[in-house]
């Protein structure tokens, strides 16, 4: 089972969260991409842009944050954080 936790923070407080589960046999990268798309759909957000720093952080810690400069549209929160809760 693969589970990704998406959380929206404003002023260092958790505003909203969602957990996305994926039982498919896809690669880890594909599962992360699909789960992030599901998180964005749940929160009615455009997909954030992955910068090199996000990729490195996610590879090392299985967690990363997307701030306002990662989104094309304006956001009304401080950042979106995703982290893997469980992997196969």
The structural domain count of the chain equals: 1
The pLDDT of residue 88 is: 75
Beta carbons of 22 and 88 less than 8 angstroms apart = no
Q: What is the domain extent for residue 60?
A: 2-86
> What's the confidence (pLDDT) of residue 87?
86
Q: Contact at 8 Å (CB) between 45 and 75? A: yes
* Residue pLDDT tens, the chain, 88 long: 999 999 999 999 999 999 999 999 999 999 999 999 999 999 999 999 999 999 999 999 999 999 999 999 999 999 999 999 998 7
- pTM score of the predicted model: 0.92
Could you tell me which residues come within 8 angstroms of residue 71 by beta carbon, excluding any fewer than 6 positions away? Answer: 45, 46, 48, 49
């Amino acid at each position: 089972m693969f589970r990704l936790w998406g959380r929206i923070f404003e002023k260092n407080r958790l505003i909203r969260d969602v957990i996305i589960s994926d039982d498919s046999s896809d690669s880890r990268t594909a599962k992360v991409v699909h789960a992030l798309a599901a998180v964005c759909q749940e929160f009615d957000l455009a997909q954030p842009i992955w910068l090199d720093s996000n990729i490195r952080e996610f590879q090392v810690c299985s967690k990363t944050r997307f701030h306002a400069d990662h989104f094309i549209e304006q956001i009304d929160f401080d950042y979106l954080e995703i982290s893997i809760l469980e992997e196969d």
